Amino acid sequence: MLKGIPVSAGIAIAPIVRLSQDQPIAHETAISSADVSSHQSRLAQSIELARQQLEQLRVQTEEQLGAEKAAILSAHLAFLDDPAFTGEMNSAIESQLLSASAAVSQVADQFISLFESMDDAYMRERADDIRDVSRRLIRNLSGEESSVSFPEEPFILIAVDVTPSETLQLPLSHVRGIATVKGGSTSHAAILARSLGIPAVMGVGEALFSQMESETLLILDGATGQLYPAPDEETRKRYEAKAEEEAIERVAYEAMKDLPAKTLDGHRVHLMANMAVPEEADALVASGVEGIGLFRSEFLFMDRSTLPDEEEQFQAYKRVALAFGDKPVIIRTLDVGGDKHLPALALEKEENPFLGFRAIRISLARPELFQVQLRALLRASAFGRLLIMFPMISHLEQLRAAKSILEQAKSQLREEGVAFDENIAVGMMMEIPAACLQADAFAKEVQFFSIGTNDLVQYTLAVDRMNGNIADLYSYYHPAVLRLISQVIEASHRAGIWTGLCGEMAGDPVATELLLGLGLDEFSGAASVMPKVKQRIRTTTIEQAKRTASHVLTLSTTEDVIAFLNNKAE
């Protein structure tokens, strides 16, 4: 069995097709001056072929997926005419006596490193476009004319990584899954796989290629990241049964997509999704979620040497606000610390980063930085329904300080005559036990709570969730964690505000009835698991859920809680 990062849920069972991306530069790098003109004309043919391929793909993409997705292909076409790109390749053949493919690689690599060093996240991603076009040129040169040819029957694609144009070319009727050597859950291909509903596992490593021949039968589980090349009879039967179950579930989920998350006796809650990058917005809107319960703003700050300015942040938040229209989007202000690589903030590496300088603690210590984010959020709030959420609040003073900086940002914008949502709701994460115990005091000063179980469990049980030696101690079913959750929800309702939960627990169907019974108002998890949660809600009653919750609160061990809930779930 192989394992990678699960990026798009679902089970796929099919023979593999390897996407060839061998870069045949090693074969012939240097050429003699007699061969210059033949290499130049091969390059010209390869460019011409690429033009035809891209033009065809552009027309096709525009018809099937719309003008916006096709626009990137117009840029690819323009690269082909760029004197600094293909023109430079042509001169490099002559001046440096490089083979056509070596010239393509050399010029492309220069642009790739140039784009990758840029501060703007959008521009950094353009390195993928250069890779895409240069790979196409090299493939054309090596004679693999039909750059990607797929069988007319079900298959799982395996590749080093998948470029945007390759993903757009996949025959949706036959591709059952995608597995790649590189990449992670925020790569372009991962986002597209999720939005097209193709099960995918990425970042598997070199073993993906070494352990598989072409046409090997592969089982891919996009929910767990597991891959079984050439599975035995028993594994295969097990997964076939699981896949069939999923197919039946999908039909059932599709049927309830537009139905409310309401119990049999009419108790209504809200199902939202978590989102990491704005590119996911369209797919999430289409999936039927009621909004975004957690949009992490970190993506704007990662892997870059300077901070995103107000304009860049504003554009990103605005895009999300517009995509969701009148559906709510909860944006959490910057939540990072010394455990994440954030060159722009130059944070010191800490001995104990989870108890250190992170999240709201950084924002309050660097108000000039915090204010930029709040101004951008406020400006974007004029274009949709945004809610602001502060992470890692433990002291009431922190909440007050954060709100006062927000008020300053508001009055600046008012003076400047810039539009924003005057009634924008402000909430806080409930992820530190101290805040949960004092929930009644906090509830008077915010409009909502969102319980972050991942950190709450870690802080309540003093268990580092990354430490494998103590992984068995980490559970959100620990009675102490459940009591904190119960207290937070009760305190919020007494103050007339609502409580949501973002974290793995929200998407765990075994926990659904318990959370419902504790009075949770909003569940926010990965979009792929929320239909299961909705089904649980729609097939129980609030009375039944309350009985479950009050019984669970009498149990005194994690084991007892899990046994009781599993028993009920079956």
Give the residues lining the site for another protein (CB under 8 A): 71-72, 74-75, 77-79, 81-85, 111, 114-115, 118-120, 122-123, 126, 129-130, 311, 315
Q: Let me know if 188 is a catalytic residue.
A: yes
Least separation, in Å, of the C-beta of 306 and another protein?
11
For residues 93 and 44, what is the distance between their CA atoms, to the nearest angstrom?
12
Least separation, in Å, of the C-beta of 315 and another protein?
6
Residue closest to 536 by CA, chosen among 504, 559, 568, 562: 568
Tell me which amino acid residue 361 is.
Answer: R
For residues 116 and 128, what is the distance between their CA atoms, to the nearest angstrom?
9
* One-character DSSP codes across 251-304: HHHHHHTTS--B-TT--B-EEEEEESSGGGHHHHHHTT-SSEEEEEGGGGTTT-
From the CA atom positions of the chain, what is the Rg in Å?
A: 26
Least separation, in Å, of the C-beta of 309 and another protein?
8
Least separation, in Å, of the C-beta of 132 and another protein?
12
For residues 12 and 239, what is the distance between their CA atoms, to the nearest angstrom?
9
Least separation, in Å, of the C-beta of 19 and another protein?
24
Smaller CB separation from another protein, 84 or 241: 84
Least separation, in Å, of the C-beta of 85 and another protein?
5
Smaller CB separation from another protein, 109 or 240: 109
Least separation, in Å, of the C-beta of 380 and another protein?
13
Residue 347 is classified by DSSP as P
- Please state at what angle helix 509-518 crosses helix 479-494, rounded to 10 degrees: 40
Smaller CB separation from another protein, 82 or 215: 82
For residues 309 and 344, what is the distance between their CA atoms, to the nearest angstrom?
12
Least separation, in Å, of the C-beta of 77 and another protein?
8
Least separation, in Å, of the C-beta of 106 and another protein?
14
Sheet with 155-159: strands ordered across: 2-3, 226-229, 217-221, 11-18, 155-159, 175-180, 200-202, 5-8
Q: Which residues have CB under 8 Å from 76's CB, separation 6+?
A: 54, 129, 132, 133, 165
Least separation, in Å, of the C-beta of 72 and another protein?
7
Contact 362, 336 (CB under 8 A): yes
For residues 541 and 364, what is the distance between their CA atoms, to the nearest angstrom?
44
Least separation, in Å, of the C-beta of 82 and another protein?
5
Residue closest to 390 by CA, chosen among 403, 379, 380, 377: 403
Residue 333 is classified by DSSP as P
Smaller CB separation from another protein, 120 or 298: 120
Smaller CB separation from another protein, 83 or 143: 83
Residue closest to 536 by CA, chosen among 500, 503, 502, 506: 506
Buried residues in 19-47 as b, exposed as e (16+ CB within 10 A): bebebbbeeeeebeeebeeebbebbeebb
For residues 364 and 342, what is the distance between their CA atoms, to the nearest angstrom?
17
Residue where the block lists tokens 């998890």: 525
For residues 396 and 398, what is the distance between their CA atoms, to the nearest angstrom?
5
Smaller CB separation from another protein, 119 or 445: 119
Smaller CB separation from another protein, 316 or 362: 316
Buried residues in 100-126 as b, exposed as e (16+ CB within 10 A): bbbbbbbbbeebbeebeeeeebeeebb
Smaller CB separation from another protein, 79 or 476: 79
Q: Which residues have CB under 8 Å from 296's CB, separation 6+?
A: 274, 275, 276, 332, 335
Instruction: Give the pair of three-digit tokens for residue 525.
Output: 């998890």
Smaller CB separation from another protein, 123 or 471: 123
Smaller CB separation from another protein, 115 or 449: 115
Smaller CB separation from another protein, 105 or 274: 105
For residue 11, what is the enclosing H or E element?
Answer: strand 11-18
Spot the catalytic one: 39, 76, 188, 270.
188
Spot the catalytic one: 270, 436, 478, 502.
502
Q: Which residues are catalytic?
A: 188, 502
